[in-house]
Chains A and B, each alone.
Chain A
Amino acid sequence: MFTAIQIFLLAVVIFAISRVYLRLKEGVITSRMAFFWFLIWIAALVGVTLPATTTRIAEFFGVGRGVDIIVYISLALLFYLVFRIYVMIEDLRHQITYLIREIGLSGSSKIRKNRKRSKK
């Protein structure tokens, strides 16, 4: 039988998997990205339904409890994801700047052309 926390976590994981599937179907995320997230959530599903597996993994890595290994892995993963998001935001920033620059430069050349025309 599942405990209350397991049922709650199972619901969260199933909801997350359904979201990944829907976003993949909509074409919002690539199949590579979907594969990564499916992997993460299926690992979570295994961890929730069979907690003994996490204990075994923890023992393998020399960590005391199964929960501890989940926390450590999650933290490392979160830090990595935050870094990726930071890089992505930086890329977006550069793209916005590129657009702003192009608009600015084309605007200045238009003004010059208009000035030349009005002089003629």
Chain B
Amino acid sequence: MPVTKEVKVVIVVPAFNESSVIYNVLKSIPKKIKGTSLVDVVVVNDGSSDNTQSEVRRAGIPVINHVINRGLGAAIRTGIEYARKKKAAIMVTFDGDGQHDPSDIEKIIRPVFQKKADLVIGSRFKKSKNVPLDRFFLNWFANVVTFLFYGVVTTDSQSGLRAFSKKALNLIDFKGERMDFSSEILLEAKKNKLKIAEVPIRAIYTEYSRKKGQKNLNAIPTFSRFLVRLLR
């Protein structure tokens, strides 16, 4: 991949009470990515009540603070606004709980570089074998709902590792503030005729990331909120 001066990548790490892992997660993110001129990592601290903010500062990473917790979707949206302001060519979302492998970042931005996709979803289910059964079924349900209501076929609608092209950053406009935003992003991409691609990624399921990730019971309020938005 040729290095062009303008290719700026913004990596958005949403974090809510991740003080025990965020430092290591941030340190593991590559400072240089092949084919890019600048990698700008930013943490959206979503109203954490622990030491997340000071841990982020210790890692030397800029932080955008939500003074109160607004949910993952709201944090990602703030990241999008930041990336737009910074005139990023690509934006990547990367979970702050250590669930993602930093080496996958390069993999998911590749289709954007090659102009093969505007939105790339890092799919944990395309290849992975070590997916816990409850996560598999929950995700399967979310994928079915995404297909039935939005007509988008995906193997991992809830993935936290995504890449957006500049075009996608400017066109995607979602309202979901919690987990429901994930499916909405796909709908927005479809509505705006953006090219969607899926890339297999490795999910690191630790006891911590499982505890911090989407709770199984959250599926009910997430689904009801999704329905209300659809019917309003």
Contacts and interface: CB of A to CB of B under 8 A. Distances in A.
B70 interface: yes
B65 interface: yes
A93 B177 CA distance: 9
Closest 9 CB pairs of A and B: A104-B64, A108-B64, A97-B70, A97-B74, A101-B78, A100-B66, A87-B232, A104-B65, A104-B66
Contacts of B67: 100, 103-104
Given A93-B177, A96-B70, A108-B62, A101 B228 contact: no
Interface residues on B, range: 20 to 34
A107 interface: yes
Interface of B: 42, 44, 62-68, 70-71, 74, 77-78, 81-82, 85, 175, 177, 225, 228-229, 232
Contact of B81 (A87, A101, A112): A101
Contacts of A104: 44, 64-67, 78
Nearest to B43: A108
Interface in A66-112: 83, 86-87, 90, 93-94, 96-97, 100-101, 103-105, 107-108, 111-112
A105 B78 contact: yes
A108 B66 contact: no
Majority secondary structure, B binding face: mixed
B175 A94 contact: yes
Contact of B177 (A83, A87, A94, A107): A94
23 contacts: A90-B228, A90-B232, A94-B175, A97-B70, A97-B77, A100-B66, A100-B70, A100-B74, A101-B66, A101-B78, A103-B67, A104-B67, A104-B78, A105-B78, A105-B81, A105-B82, A108-B42, A108-B62, A108-B63, A108-B65, A108-B82, A111-B62, A112-B62
A100 B64 contact: no
A40 B186 CA distance: 43
B14 to A, nearest CB: 12
Contacts of A101: 66, 70, 74, 77-78, 81
Contacts of B229: 90
Contacts of A111: 62
Interface in A2-36: none
B12 to A, nearest CB: 12
